Structure 1
Amino acid sequence: MAEQHREPQQSTSDAIKSYLPDNGSSTSQVLAVVTLFPVGSFLLILAGLTLAGTLIGLTVATPLFVIFSPIIGPAVLTIALAVAGFLTSGAFGITALSSISWLLNYVRRTRGSLPEQLEHARRRVQDTASHMGQKTREAGQKAQDVMRS
């Protein structure tokens, strides 16, 4: 008989862990999540509130226009406002999902590049500080020269 080679089955949690990176989150990843996650959450909440407000406004306004206005204008206005509300709600929702998608892509791209960016920024700050110090010394020297004369 032929032997069958069977690999041990992975548990579900082991399978999920195999997709995650081995190293911990970098500072840039944590910073990106901390700053952009609330923005995406706020936009999703704003989308839901806009949708709810639109539905409530449509529910309240439609009978009032039908009862108190015999002309078609208010009906058109109601429909236009309802469509605008639905489109705005959808736009906020899409913006929130796009923000979250961008956040995930940004976190994946920035692995390893943050230390170089921080070093470059630190050098620029030092250069600017030394330049401003030199300008301050020159301005102080000019002020002393003006006071002496």
Structure 2
Amino acid sequence: MGLKMAEGYHGMGNKSHDYASNSTQVLGAAALVTSGVIVLFLAGLSAVALVLLAPVLVLLSPILIPVGALIFGTVVGLLSAVCFGRALGFCVRWFYNYVNGRRPSGSDQVEYARMRVIDTASHAKDKAKLRHAAPGA
């Protein structure tokens, strides 16, 4: 078949580019074995620690559970306070920019709502004047 399969085709005898070299394979195998040994060691260590610490955790659970709940509540409360404080600061900054005419984002919607309220109030006022002027109508 006189056609070559790919432009980079070098023949059957040249396979050095197709496979990794022996030194790379040895380094890969060494890394695999090392990481496997470390994972097995840590798994065994955690299992032994769990077996040894389980009685201690059972004995201290009447103390640890309320303390954990207290710490959790404190952290959640502080994070909530920080988030609400930041939101308040953002709102104050937005209102300050709005009052000073700096046109913060969303101010066009506030202006539209303000104009609708003014229009509705003036319409209700005119309607009330007509009813008051013509009591029999």
TM value normalised by structure 2:
0.37
**TM-score (normalizing by structure 1):** 0.34
Which one has the largest radius of gyration?
2
